Structures are given as C-alpha cells and as structure tokens.
C-alpha cells in the first residue's frame, strides 16, 4: 500500500504495433544500426549472458553506441525481446509438406511422410531450439506468441496433427499434450545445461551431485530403483530415451483414442 498505485504494464505486442521506422526510400547516408543487426546482437548477448544478464545499456555497449540509440529502432525492451523470440522460433526446421501442403512434390526425397515421423521431427526441433537458446523458454512464457515464425510453427504443428486421424475437436488437446510436454522438457534441459556451465561441471557430474544432495534429504522417500531403471551411460543418453519414450506414449494415446 505504501507506494500507492502502480502502472500495470500492458504494452501490446510488437506484432500488433506499427513499425517504428519507415522503409528506406532512396539511398540515404549509410547508417550503422538497423533492426536486423540489433536483434542479432540481442540474441548473441542473450546466449552468452542469459536473460538476467541482458540489458538495453549492455546491448548498446555491445553495438558501440549510446544507450538510447537502440530506442530509435525499437519501442521498448519488451518489443525487442519479442523480436528475438520470433527469430529463434524461425530456426526451427519444418517438414516441407506441413509448410506447403499443396505444392507439387518434384523432389522424390520430399515425399510425404508419416504423421508420427513428422511429429517427432517437430518435437525434436522444438526441443533443440529451447536448449540452444536457454532464454527462449522464459520469453515464450511471457509474451503473446504471434510473430510470423511462431505462427508458421504452430500452423505446421496443426497440419501434422490433422493427419493423425484424431477428430477435429480433439486436435488442440493432442497438440497441447505434445508441445507443452516438449516445452517443459526442453526448458528443464536448458536450465540444467546452464547450471552446468555456471558451475563449470559436466552434465554427468552435476547430475550426480544433485542426486546425492537430494537423496540425503528426509523428504526423499521414493525408491531408487526408478531413478536407476531409466539408466543409460550418460545423462544425455538417459534424457534422450526419456524424451523419445514420452513421445511414444503420446503417440500411442492418439492412436488409441482416434476413431479409425
């Protein structure tokens, strides 16, 4: 109460506001900055320092420019982060048929594949981008997700799921099951990797450290056989198996509940 009222931040998405700079008309004098460069530098910085290490001032320094210059090209920090988010989503490779369903298939290698295979590919790509850019999860959780690349991705996901044989009214459920799972899985994986980097440990080392810590705590009363059963030689191997089988479960569920 003491500090009184507080502005509720409700700046709408970049994607719903007019571009700030008009497209360049003729050839003006050369300029150092532009949106593309700024977003690229943003992603570099985010990759290197994490979301909490990123600031407009730091970005400006990286670009060799004063703190306020960036604001010429971008309305707010939030808008800039939305641009980075969508750029990251653009790194996801999509199955060709999902993108252009009606295109003639001149390339025999590009022949339509099974929906399961396409689903697994999309899931794997999504997982990979989440791990490659550990800051992406938080942004996906914070902003509306309606940039062009995000839309293309979700359209592709829908297109794939429509081939599963599930009735129309179940498709969003199946999409939610699969992609929320991948999101959560990739988020955890990325966070763990970031912790490893920060602590200077390998994934296996940190994993065993955490295991030992947790096993000593009184609240941990679950049988270790489950922890051990998932085995595998390395943490990464264990995780891959876990991921693959979870997808298998989802796919099996879809196959079981579709009307044939």
Site for DNA contains 26 (CB under 7 A): no
Contact between 104 and 124 (Cβ < 8 Å): no
Site for DNA contains 223 (CB under 7 A): no
Q: Give exposure, 24-46, as e/b (b: 16+ Cβ within 10 Å).
A: eeeeeeeeebeeeebbebbbebb
Only segment of 67-75, 139-147, 200-208, 252-260 that touches DNA (CB under 7 A) = 67-75
**Residue 233, contacted partner among a copy of itself, DNA, none, CB below 5-8 A by kind:** none
Only segment of 68-76, 86-94, 187-195, 199-207 that touches DNA (CB under 7 A) = 68-76
Site for DNA contains 176 (CB under 7 A): no
Site for DNA contains 8 (CB under 7 A): no
Among 3, 8, 10, 212, binds DNA (CB under 7 A): 3
Encoded tokens for 191: 């966070």
Write the DSSP string, 201-226: --HHHHHHHHHHHHHTSTT--S-HHH
Site for DNA contains 12 (CB under 7 A): no
**Residue 69, contacted partner among DNA, a copy of itself, none, CB below 5-8 A by kind:** DNA
CB-count exposure of residue 228 (10 Å: 0-12, 13-18, 19+): exposed
Among 42, 118, 124, 187, binds a copy of itself (CB under 8 A): 187
Contact between 122 and 95 (Cβ < 8 Å): yes
């Amino acid at each position: 109460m003491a500090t009184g009222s507080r502005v509720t931040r409700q700046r709408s998405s970049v994607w719903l506001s007019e571009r700030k700079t008009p497209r360049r008309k003729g050839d003006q004098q050369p300029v150092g900055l532009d949106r593309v460069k700024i977003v690229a530098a943003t992603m570099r910085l985010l990759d290197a320092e994490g979301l909490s290490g990123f600031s407009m001032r730091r970005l400006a320094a990286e670009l060799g420019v004063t703190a306020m210059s960036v604001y010429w090209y971008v309305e707010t920090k939030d808008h800039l982060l939305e641009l980075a988010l969508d750029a990251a989503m653009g790194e996801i490779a999509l199955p060709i048929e999902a993108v252009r369903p009606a295109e003639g298939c001149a390339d025999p290698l590009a022949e339509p594949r099974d929906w399961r295979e396409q689903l697994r590919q999309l899931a794997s790509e999504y997982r990979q981008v989440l791990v490659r850019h550990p800051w992406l999860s938080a942004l996906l959780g914070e902003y509306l997700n309606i940039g062009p690349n995000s839309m293309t991705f979700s359209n592709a996901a829908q297109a794939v799921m429509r081939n599963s044989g599930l009735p129309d009214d179940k498709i969003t459920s199946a999409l939610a099951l699969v992609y929320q799972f991948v999101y959560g899985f990739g988020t955890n994986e990325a966070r763990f990797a970031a912790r490893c980097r920060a602590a200077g440990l390998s994934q296996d080392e940190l994993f065993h450290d955490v295991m030992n810590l947790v096993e000593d705590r009184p609240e941990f009363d679950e049988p270790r056989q489950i922890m051990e059963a998932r085995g595998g030689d390395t943490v990464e191997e264990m995780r891959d198996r876990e991921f693959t089988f979870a997808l298998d479960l989802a796919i099996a569920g879809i196959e079981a509940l579709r009307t044939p």
